[in-house]
Structure 1
Amino acid sequence: MVDNFRKNFKYYFVVLLLISLIFVWYVVFWESRKGLEVWFLDVGQGDASFIQAANGNQVLIDGGPNRKILNELSKVMPFYDRTIDVVIESHPDSDHIAGLIDVLKNYKIKAVVESGAVSDSSGYLELERLIEDKGIKKFILNSGSKIDLGDGVYLDVLLPPSNVDTSKMSPHDAMLVLKLNYGNNSFLFTGDMEEKMESYLVFNGKDIKSDVLKVGHHGSKTSSSELFLSRVSPRYAIISVGKDNKYGHPYKEVLERLKRMNISVFRTDEMGRIDVISDGENLKIK
């Protein structure tokens, strides 16, 4: 047995060395990425976006409708990273939060951010129970709040308004709308926001101009008014939507409006996961 080990020692050594080199390369690859990276995850008919700053701080906005979020996270996070700094629930619709149940079961979450909107759905109640059972810090944020990721990356909370009781509002009126800022680049995350709250942002003078717009409500005809789009003035529009979904999202009228305004459209049902990289000045989409 000892003779066999000696005979095969070089082989075992080479294999171990190769494995070590591959692991080191893998770690260096993940840790050496610079700037801000935002992934619009392919979760089907739902919403989920993952943000990573250059310093490694991470935010997950929504988790889609099911366990598909776990596969998507495995593609944008290294296998050894099982911690997410902040999970944000834009509002309690199941196609935005049901997948977060599996996220909380499989990852360590440092903090959860909500708008204060509530639901009596089983998914929402289970998610709230998990947050409590795991002792995760929970914050209710509204307009004027800020989430600082460091290195010049931060999220401004634009909605819900600070002077309302969101627990008594429709989830689509009480949702978190966020603007991500890094240098001269910005992203607007609108959840399922509809025209009513789009108008609120416009007429209350909120700074909504952004390079990248996550199109509201999967491209529904109840969102993305011409007035709102003109104020945001995005270069790129991201539509998170399921292929051949029963709702007819995104609506033809919305697509035509975006085209007419010379806004480049990227869809998860056509492209899968969409990766946007920013150095604070320039954007690269792949």
Structure 2
Amino acid sequence: MTQSTLRNAHRWALFTLLCGALAVSLASIKGSVRGSLFVYFLDVGQGDAVYVRTPSGRDMLVDGGPSRSVIRRLSEAMPWHDRSIDVVLETHPDADHIGGLPDVLSRYDVGVFLEPGVESGNSIDDELSRVRQKKGVESIIARRGMRINFGDGAYFDILFPDGDVSRSETNAASIVGALRYGSTSVMLTGDSPKQVEARLVSLDGSRLRSDVLKAGHHGSRTSSGLGFVGAVSPRYAVISAGAQNRYGHPHREVLDIFEGVGAEVLMTGEEGTVVFVSDGSVVERD
């Protein structure tokens, strides 16, 4: 590890073993409206990008969409003077999730980079690795039991992967996590397929319950199984997909499942960027 990488790692993250789980406590502090957690499901077309700003002012970007258009969407969500992001998390290395991340890492000072550790052979993933190394950003393989502690009662629990996924299909290696603040929760799923969802139901059951669920794989029928959606029991389901996309996302059977559990479905291709705010007790659209 280079000296610059060491300095960056020490500046941005401190790793401690806490109650058997790996906790990442962030050290950077930025300004924010205290007491509120903001979650932006960015309108990046046919792809995923979620920006989180916590009550302490610390922030996280989950995925970067298919292109550098994520930079424009970030500039709409972040304070104009802010040129740093505490955590960037790549759920998996498919182009529609990481296409904009090389530009994000080039433009912003990033504290910690989390990834699932799956082999991709993707040229964009190779470019992302080069930029990350050039900027000296510490990379961490995410595993179940890891907690990112943002302070002020907000944290992100990694629920999956629960083991080595280096040779898995990329969607099946997706990082799944719950963003929690007070009694509220937002479930982020990447492109996790139904077999991973079933694994999570067997591991966590009712603990999966969340106010907001980002539908897996852009509303594809390969995700959002009835058992998983029922366990999460979301008030809102967000589908990040381009308008009139060639994949037919979201699929009708997925919409029927969400309707069956009483979730309000919001699609970035229709709504634009979808924003939620939590005060620790209630999640509402902003």
Report the TM-score range of the alignment, normalised by the length of the smaller protein.
0.7 to 0.9
**SS of equivalent residue, structure 1 residue 60:** strand
Whole-angstrom distance in 2 between the partners of 1:150 and 1:137: 21
Note closer, same or farther for the CA distance 1:31–1:146 as it changes in structure 2 (3 Å cut): closer
Deviation at 1:111, TM superposition (A): 1.0
Please list every run of 5 or more consecutive structure 1 residues that lacks an aligned counterpart in the other structure: 1-29
Partner of 2:181: 182
Give a deviation string over 1:123-163, Cα, whole Å, max 9, x none: 0000011111111011111111111111000000000013x
Partner of 1:19: none
Whole-angstrom distance in 1 between the partners of 2:265 and 2:226: 15
Q: Output the amino acid matched with 2:113.
A: V
Whole-angstrom distance in 2 between the partners of 1:156 and 1:268: 25
Give a deviation string over 1:40-86, Cα, whole Å, max 9, x none: 00000000000011111000000000011011001011111000000
Whole-angstrom distance in 2 between the partners of 1:185 and 1:213: 12
Q: Output the amino acid matched with 1:44.
A: G
Structure with bigger strand share is 2
Percent identity of equivalent pairs: 44
Deviation at 1:33, TM superposition (A): 5.5
Please list every run of 5 or more consecutive structure 2 residues that lacks an aligned counterpart in the other structure: 1-30
Deviation at 1:31, TM superposition (A): 3.7
Within 5 A, what are the aligned runs for 1:1-286? 31-32=32-33, 34-162=35-163, 165-205=164-204, 207-286=207-286
The TM-score with structure 1 as length reference comes to 0.87
Whole-angstrom distance in 1 between the partners of 2:33 and 2:116: 34
Paired residues of 2:34 and 2:56 also in contact (CA < 8 A): no
Give a deviation string over 1:65-120, Cα, whole Å, max 9, x none: 00110110010111110000000000000000011011111111111011111211
Which 4+ residue blocks in structure 1 deviate beyond 4 angstroms?
A: none
Deviation at 1:204, TM superposition (A): 2.2
Whole-angstrom distance in 2 between the partners of 1:108 and 1:227: 40
Q: Output the amino acid matched with 2:178.
A: K
Structure with bigger helix share is 1
**SS of equivalent residue, structure 1 residue 259:** helix
Whole-angstrom distance in 1 between the partners of 2:181 and 2:221: 30
Structure 1 or 2, whichever has the larger Rg, is 1
The TM-score with structure 2 as length reference comes to 0.87
Q: Output the amino acid matched with 1:49.
A: V
Deviation at 1:169, TM superposition (A): 1.1
